[in-house]
Structure 1
């Protein structure tokens, strides 16, 4: 079970808990997970990378094993770093750790 880091926006009672460790949501849902946390740049970047890895299989009529492996590795990277990206995004928007 992962721990949580709590961040608060100064001057308000707005507190958000961010999990630490691996994010299964970022691995499995990618851009949808990022958009649900209002990480718009990350959501569009994840979508662009996913499309860049997936679409060439249609254009070049290959089996797509290389694209599938690269997409899986990208998903694992998103899962590993997703919660840290979420915390940094909140900190950029003025939240501070408690």
Structure 2
């Protein structure tokens, strides 16, 4: 296991591995990352935000609003960075809500 990474397990013997730090897959792939990680509650907001930012970009480009285009580009960059910064945190919180617990090396998670 990499330093700073966390292993989670649930009561049925399923495991999930969460890296620490910036999530490059969430940054680059967004909604596809949500599908790959089976985080369905994150898929819809990501798709909606991607669609809204894309529509804003097309609208600003079509009407040649330079200031609006710059604003939309800044919003897209901020959204990409937020996905990267918070992607692993979102995954970790989602796993905890589903009943996963952190597995520490050498410490049993459930009574035998």
Verify same fold: TM over 0.5. Answer: yes
Q: How many pairs were matched up? A: 97
Structure 2 gaps of 5+ residues are 104-112
**In the alignment, which residue of structure 1 is the partner of 2:109?**
none
Q: Which runs of 4+ in 1 moved over 6 A?
A: none
Structure 1 gaps of 5+ residues are none
**In the alignment, which residue of structure 2 is the partner of 1:77?**
82
Quote how far apart the aligned CAs of 1:44 are. 1.2
**In the alignment, which residue of structure 1 is the partner of 2:101?**
96
Alpha-carbon distance change, 7 to 56 in structure 1, aligned in 2, over 3 angstroms: same
**In the alignment, which residue of structure 2 is the partner of 1:16?**
16
Distance 1:56 1:80 in 2: 24
SS in structure 1 at match of 2:57: helix
Larger Rg: 2
Distance 1:2 1:25 in 2: 19
User: Given the alignment of the two structures, is residue 7 of structure 1 paired with residue 8 of structure 2, yes or no?
Assistant: yes
- TM normalised by structure 1 equals 0.87
Match 1:66 to one of 60, 71, 85: 71
- TM normalised by structure 2 equals 0.77
